[in-house]
Structure 1
Amino acid sequence: MNFAIGVFDLFAYTIPGALYVAFFGYLGTKLHILTAASIGGVPTVALIVVIVVLSFLLGYLAYPLGEALERIVPRRRSRNAPEEFLRRTPEAEGRPFLKENTHLLLGALQLHDKEVAADVTRVRASGLMVRNCAPPLLFGAVAAIVEIFAGKHPFIAAGFAVLFLLASLTLVTQSRKFGLWAGMKTLELCFWIPEIDEKLAAPQNDKASKIPATETSTQPPSTSPVTPPNR
């Protein structure tokens, strides 16, 4: 049986999950649940496989935490990919593909050229990796704050608390930039796809041609006799 992890899975789930594994490993060591003797008896290959699988599962299960943290952290400014693209490429004004969702455009780009679309996928995966790495670093900051009062080196723990907290907030900010870059890259590549505007504008034209005509009055015609004019 072959076990393979794609680029998207590696960046979006496995690498952030490895930070969760490290955090829980730290807690297990502090609580004396994990010891060198218990880990040393496990074969190296089996230990690596367990760590990789746990990293993927934890990264997948903790995915909503990254989304929640991104919503909580305030934005300094709101940047929209289509607006930014139009600012840099004014000749694209009025083209139908700019009105579509970038995920739909990415699907069109993948159908057109998978190798080119892989560049956008890597940027999106990098942004998700950066965002999903923020929560475990925030948990590390909380653990460092606890170490200030419970540990033997409060000043070192305070330094790590500040470092982890700033790193967590910075990662959320950088993930938004990756998202903007992925959207911009998608629009830039779709700009050169032949006939993409015609394909997207066709459904709108079909809807316009199927608009029903205005119905006339449904009342029956009057049956009253017509009075002849006076002579």
Structure 2
Amino acid sequence: MTIAVGVFDLFAYSIPGSLYLSLLGYLAFRLNLLEPAAVLGLPGFLVVVGAVLLSYLLGYLAYPLGALVSRLVPNRRRHDALAEFIGRTPAARDRDYVRADPFLLLAALQLHDDEAATHVNRTRATGVMLRNCTPPLLAGAVAAVVEAVAGPRPAVAAVCAALFVVTAVVLVTQSRKHARWATIKTLELCFWLPDIDDRLRTATSAP
């Protein structure tokens, strides 16, 4: 049996989920809910497989938290991907495809050139990964604040809390940038798709 993990699954779920798992593991050890010796005594293969599965599940379950944090962080530098693309490519201004939904355009691109669509999906997945990594970092910042108040090394914990917060904000801004890049790249690649305007025109005019 072959198990295939897509790029989107790996980036959007597994990597953020590993951060959640690391945070939960830290809290379990710190609160004496789990002994390190009990984990080290397990077979290494089972530990690795369990960590991978738990990372994926945690990332999947906590997926909405990334979108929530992204909405809560102010977006002071709003960039319109379509306006940026048309500004660089005036020949596309009056074409029908630029007014279509970007995900519909991506589906058309996948049918025409799956390799080119993979590049767009990789960029989108990277943006989602960065966004979904922010909640565990913010939760880690809260844990670091508690450590700064009650832990044995308050200075180190305070520095970690500040770094976690700054990193989370930077990740949100970078995720928005990758989402814009993915939309622009989709528009650029679809510019060269044959008959895409005619197909969209026919689809929208059909009863």
Identify the TM-score tier after normalising by the shorter chain. Answer: over 0.9
| d(CA) in 2 for partners of 1:24, 1:36 | 13
CA–CA distance in structure 2, aligned partners of residues 44 and 17 of structure 1: 20
Q: CA RMSD in A?
A: 1.0
Distance (Å, rounded) in 1 between the aligned partners of 2:190 and 2:69: 31
Percent of aligned pairs sharing the same letter: 53
1:24 — aligned with what?
Answer: 24
CA distance, structure 2, for counterparts of residue 158 and residue 7 of structure 1: 35
Distance 1:90 1:144, change over 3 A: same
Regions of 4+ moved over 3 Å: 203-207
**Could you tell me which amino acid in structure 2 is paired with residue 54 of structure 1?**
L
TM-score normalised by structure 2 residue count: 0.97
CA distance in structure 1 between the aligned counterparts of 2:203 and 2:18, rounded to whole angstroms: 45
**Counterpart AA for 1:152:** P
> What is the CA distance between 1:205 and its match in structure 2?
4.1
Alpha-carbon separation, structure 2, partners of 1:105 and 1:86: 16
Structure 2 contact 29–36 (Cα < 8 Å) conserved: no
> Matched residue pairs, number?
207
Tell me how far apart the structure 2 counterparts of residues 8 and 206 of structure 1 sit (CA, whole Å).
33
Contiguous gaps of at least 5 residues in structure 2: none
| Cα separation, 1, equivalents of 2:206 and 2:40 | 68
Match in the other structure for 1:70: 70
Does residue 61 (structure 1) correspond to residue 61 (structure 2)? The answer is yes
Structure 1: unaligned runs, 5 residues or longer = 208-231
Structure 2 CA distance for aligned equivalents of residues 196 and 5 of structure 1 = 31
Q: Looking at CA atoms only, which structure, 1 or 2, has the larger radius of gyration?
A: 1
CA distance in 2, matches of 1:78, 1:147: 37
Shift of 1:206: 4.3
The structure whose residues are more often helix, as a share, is 2
CA contact (8 A) 2:66 2:131 kept: yes
Output the CA distance in 2 between the equivalents of 1:16 and 1:166: 17
